[in-house]
Amino acid sequence: MSTVIWHDVECASYVEDLPLWRSLAASYGDPVLDVGAGTGRVALELARAGYRVTALDRDPDLLSALNVRLGENRRIARDISQLVTTAVADAREFDLGERRFPLVIVPMQTIQLLGGVDGRARFLRCAHRHLTPGGVLAVAIAEVLDLYEVEDGMPMPLPDVREEDGFVYSSQPTAVRADRAGFVL
């Protein structure tokens, strides 16, 4: 359960990219493969818009939370549970059999967490195998700041905060700046 709380602290309140994923689904159709789906932030949004989604994540606890949220959605809105399937797998090694997708999405900089060039290459091979002919892979990446854009003394970003069962969880984003020798935390 703790992975669910921390995942939600980091990701659940971020909504700025949701119009992009909806627009891509409208353009390329479904089913959509959501890689690094976590607790379903994007998968649930797409399902509410009527798209079929396969939510892939390597953490079964996160996908269990997604399934709970599907049930909660049924109580407050409409049943979208038939639109979302889950797959527990590492993004670098997944095999969904014969399933193919016109759209594979990778929100929240997930691709940058796959273990460097080798991990990303392994993921790209898996994603390619699961795309339909003419299909699209859409990946969110963090912006790399040029050296001249980063100044000493810049304020730390605000923490991500979530209250759950009377406890307040806070995660302070790490400020990373580049220097000529590498990166400084």
Domain boundary among 122, 139, 156: 139
Rounded to an integer, the average pLDDT of 87-114 is 90
Strands (E), 107-166: 131-139, 160-164
Which residue in the block uniquely carries the two structure tokens 């493969």?
Answer: 33
Quote the pLDDT of residue 70. Answer: 85
Tokens of 153: 């003394």
Please check whether residues 134 and 177 belong to one and the same domain.
no
**Do residues 128 and 169 both lie within one domain?**
no
pLDDT over 80 (residue 20): yes
Give yes or no for a contact between 85 and 54, defined as CB atoms under 8 angstroms apart: yes
Q: State the pTM of this model.
A: 0.76
Question: Both 127 and 36 in a single domain?
Answer: yes
Residue 45's domain comprises 2-139
Say whether both 34 and 94 belong to one domain.
yes
91 token code pair: 């993004």
pLDDT at 74: 65
Are 106 and 65 found together in one domain?
A: yes
pLDDT digits (tens, 9 = 90+) for 124-182: 999 999 999 999 999 888 765 444 344 556 555 555 555 666 766 555 554 444 444 44
Q: What integer is the mean pLDDT of 34-47?
A: 93
Query: Which of 137, 141, 146 shows the shortest CA–CA distance to 112?
Result: 141
Give the count of domains, the chain. 2
